[in-house]
Amino acid sequence: MLKEADQKLREVLRLPLIADSINTIKSQLPNNIRFHTVEHTLDVMREAILFALTDGLTDQEIEMLSIAAAYHDIGYIEQIRGNEEVGARMAAEAMRAAVYDEEKIQTVASMIEDTEVRFTERGLEQVSRSVLGGYLLDADLGNFGRV
C-alpha cells in the first residue's frame, strides 16, 4: 500500500494547482515557520493518500483530499492566526481557475478550515465537519505518532 500511496502522490503532484501550492510554500514561507514547511505538507499529503487508499476512496475523493492537504498550511505565508481561512481562500481561487465545481471547492475549503486547532469541551482539538475531512485531520497530526 505504501508503494501505491507514493505513486498516487507523484500523480497528484503533477496537478498544476498542487504543484503551484508546493512551489509557493517553498518560495514564500517565512523563515521563522519551522514546522509547517513544505516537508510537512508533503508528509500530510502522503499520509492522507495512504489512509484514503487503505479505505478504498475514489480517485476523485483522493484528488480533493490532496488539494486540501496541499493548501492546508499555505496560509502561513500571509499570517499565523487564521491561516486556515487564507489557505481555504487560496485553494478556492486555484480550484475556480482550474474550473472545479462549487461543491468540490466548498468541500476542500471546509477541510482546510477544519485543520484549525480549537478549544472544545474536551480541550484542544481539530473538528472535522465531514468524513473526508477526517482523513486530512488524521494525516495532519499523524506525524506526532511517528516521531
- Choose among 70, 91, 67, 87: nearest CA to 79: 87
C-alpha to C-alpha distance for 119 and 5, rounded to whole angstroms:
33
Q: Which residue has the higher pLDDT, 37 or 86?
A: 86
Q: Read off the pLDDT of residues 86-139 as tens digits, 9 standing for 90 and up.
A: 999 999 999 999 999 999 999 999 999 999 888 778 887 777 889 999 999 999
Q: How high does pLDDT run on average in the chain?
A: 92
C-alpha to C-alpha distance for 26 and 56, rounded to whole angstroms:
31
* Span 19-43, average pLDDT: 91
Cβ–Cβ < 8 Å for 84, 113: yes
- Choose among 39, 35, 67, 33: nearest CA to 135: 67
pTM for this structure?
A: 0.93
Report the sign of the C-alpha dihedral through residues 81, 84, 12, 138, in that order: positive
Burial of 16 (0-12, 13-18, 19+ CB in 10 A): exposed
Residue 146 has pLDDT above 70, yes or no: no
Return the pLDDT at 145: 63
